[in-house]
Amino acid sequence: MHEDTQEITDLILEATALARKETSAEPEPDLTRAVRWPVECTVGPGLEGAIACESKVGYVNGTKGWLIYRGYDIFDLCAHSSYEETSYLLLKGKLPLPPQLSSLKHRFTEYRHLPDVKRLLMSFPVEKMNSMAALRLGTNLMRQKQTYRDQNASGPHLEDATSTDEDSIPMETQPRGERSAVYEFRGKRHQRPKGVERGLRGAEGLASCYHIIAGVSSIAGAVARLREGHLPIEPDPNLSHAGNLIYMMSGRKPTPVEERVMDIALILHADHGMNASTFAALVVASTLSDIYFSVGAGIAALNGPLHGGANEQVLYQLEEIGSPDNVDEWFDAARRQKRKIAGFGHRVYKAYDPRARILKPLAHYLARTNDRARHLLEIAEVLEKKVATSFGDERGIFPNVDYYSGIVYGALNIPPYMFTTVFAVSRTAGWTARLREYLRKNRIFRPRGVYTGTFDREYTPMEDR
């Protein structure tokens, strides 16, 4: 192992020892045993406290600040595993043997190649789009290309589209003289290829999970390049998933340290219980829609600044504060305005987020050779102290995963508008693992709302209103 990456592993082992000293890792009894449905639970606004389903994929102990994937502690996985191995673990429930890991890596390498999808992506104004909107568009283009699931799967294919002015195309209705070109489809109507499964079962298969986990990273790379006015880059089969993500986003091969840090970040973000984006993905999957729509729903939910979008907001927040000396004044103003401080607080963690326990030392490690990261980190640590003293431990408002991740990503030269996209690249493993698991005993999600409106109102015709 490269000596610098060994130093990073040592950092994680130190963070592990501290976490184990400061927290005790015992499961919460009422949330870690099989339940007999229907299950009693007290539900607050935002489904707080609601039990959506049972799962073996991962567990978050919010009071203790403890996170496990399939029984393995996140600290051990960051110290010793890889994102590829962790994806296998989340999907299959056990660590892979060498041939199983190499088969997964081979599939990821194969599925990262999406030249057709990237070409289609380039026909959209990606450089003007929210990066998560572009990522979600990419999953739809993957779906179009890979699943032939649509009812009109034998319909025209986007890649056959040729742009032309609308006057040359017979239209059902008189063209409205739109300035923009209208697409014409050449060639014969496509027939469903032989062997492509009809119906919905195919895309929950393991191959589809691998396909979308690998493909989303390539689309993220293409989005980053197109946003910067460059052409997408094809992945390098000799690089890892993490290494390829950096390479496809930046056009630069990562150093061993950068690759290792990105790999740890991908492991840390891969799964996190029944968070909003995972729940969104599951709700879509529970209607027997398919994996591409489900992951698209997860991407849409993760985009929000209360959720995955917070990592980007943290950076803007630190830049807004500008210097450690401004923290007090900024914080007092934020409290007066009842602003949520990005990167703090959590619905489940009422203790230090274990992922922040790893990301903070990583930020320190990278800040040793990066002035901007060092400056941001100085502000972040003063703000962390300010929040802790102002809210106090009893309020349970601690740094969450998003608080230090932005400083780490910035030190890897990832632009802020790609931070949440990187989060989505990682979380695709957790989303797909959980939707595969849920679909084994599927039941469509359909909670109830309480009606507090009125009754027995008489209809008044317009002229009498």
Rule CB under 6 A: is residue 310 a binding residue for ligand SDX? Answer: yes
Q: CA-CA distance, 195 to 399, in Å (whole number)? A: 50
- Note if 402 is an active site residue: yes
DSSP label of 164: E
Residue 407 near residue 373, CB atoms below 8 Å = yes
In terms of Cα–Cα distance, which of 418, 264, 273 is closest to 356? 264
Cβ-proximal residues to 172 (8 Å cutoff; 6+ apart), any chain: none
Residue number with CB closer to ligand SDX (232 or 345) = 345
Q: Which two tokens stand for residue 40?
A: 């009693």
Q: What is the token pair recorded at 131?
A: 């990066």
CA atoms within 13 Å, Cβ hemisphere of 314 = 32
- Contact segment (CB under 6 A) with ligand SDX among 5-13, 49-57, 191-199, 398-406 equals 398-406
* Residue 400 in contact with ligand SDX, rule: CB under 6 A: yes
Q: Which entry of 160, 402, 456, 464 is annotated as an active-site residue?
A: 402
CA separation for the pair 142, 14 (Å, rounded): 41
423 within 8 A of 311, measured Cβ to Cβ: yes
User: What does the DSSP 8-state code read for residue 304?
Assistant: S
- Nearest CB to ligand SDX, comparing residues 336 and 441: 336
Interacting span for ligand SDX (CB under 6 A) from 49-57, 70-78, 89-97, 305-313: 305-313
Of 106, 346, 371, 456, catalytic = 346
Q: Which of 81, 31, 91 is nearest to 291 (CA)?
A: 91
* CA proximity to 202, closest of 216, 212, 214: 212
Shortest distance (Å) from residue 160 CB to ligand SDX: 39
| Binder of ligand SDX out of 51, 129, 182, 306 (CB under 6 A) | 306
Minimum Å distance from CB 268 to ligand SDX? 9
Minimum separation from the CB atom of position 431 to ligand SDX (A): 10
**Piece of 101-109, 182-190, 258-266, 396-404 that binds ligand SDX (CB under 6 A):** 396-404
> Contact at 8 Å (CB) between 236 and 253?
yes
- Among the listed residues 3, 9, 15, 97, the one whose alpha carbon sits nearest the alpha carbon of residue 361: 15
3 state SS of 185: strand
Query: Segment near ligand SDX (CB under 6 A), from 84-92, 226-234, 256-264, 270-278?
Result: 270-278
Among 118, 272, 434, 436, the residue binding ligand SDX under the rule CB under 6 A is 272
Q: Does residue 38 have a cis bond before it (omega within 30 degrees)? A: yes
Distance CA 366, CA 264 (A): 13
Q: CB of 283: closest distance to ligand SDX in angstroms?
A: 15
Distance CA 67, CA 401 (A): 12
- Least distance CB 32 / ligand SDX (angstroms): 17
The distance of closest approach from Cβ of residue 333 to ligand SDX in the complex, given in angstroms and rounded to an integer, is 13
- The answer to whether the beta carbons of residues 264 and 355 sit under 8 Å apart is no
Name the 3-class secondary structure at 198: coil
Quick one: which segment of 100-108, 122-130, 169-177, 345-353 binds ligand SDX (CB under 6 A)?
345-353
Contacting ligand SDX (CB under 6 A), which of 189, 230, 340, 385? Answer: 340
Q: Which is nearer to ligand SDX, 70 or 149 (CB)?
A: 70
Stretch that binds ligand SDX, among 102-110, 162-170, 303-311, 371-379 (CB under 6 A): 303-311
User: Does residue 341 touch ligand SDX according to CB under 6 A?
Assistant: yes
Q: How many CB atoms lie within 10 A of CB 99?
A: 8
∠ CA 264-270-275, rounded to 5°: 135
Residues contacting residue 41 through CB under 8 Å, at least 6 positions apart: 49, 50, 51
Which CB sits closer to ligand SDX, 119 or 307?
Answer: 307
434 counts as binding ligand SDX under rule CB under 6 A = no
Specify the residue, 342 or 351, whose C-beta has the smaller distance to ligand SDX: 342
Annotated catalytic residue 113: no
Residue nearest to ligand SDX (CB): 345
Among 382, 401, 412, 424, binds ligand SDX (CB under 6 A): 401
Q: How many residues bind ligand SDX (CB under 6 A)?
A: 21
Is residue 59 within the footprint of ligand SDX (CB under 6 A)? no
Write the burial class of residue 83 (CB in 10 Å: 0-12 exposed, 13-18 middle, 19+ buried). Answer: buried
Write down the least CB distance from residue 278 to ligand SDX, Å: 7
Nearer Cβ to ligand SDX (284/310): 310
CB of 211 to ligand SDX, least distance (A): 23
Q: Hey, which residues are catalytic here?
A: 346, 402
Interface with ligand SDX by CB under 6 A: which residues?
A: 46, 272-273, 275, 306-308, 310, 340-348, 397, 400-402
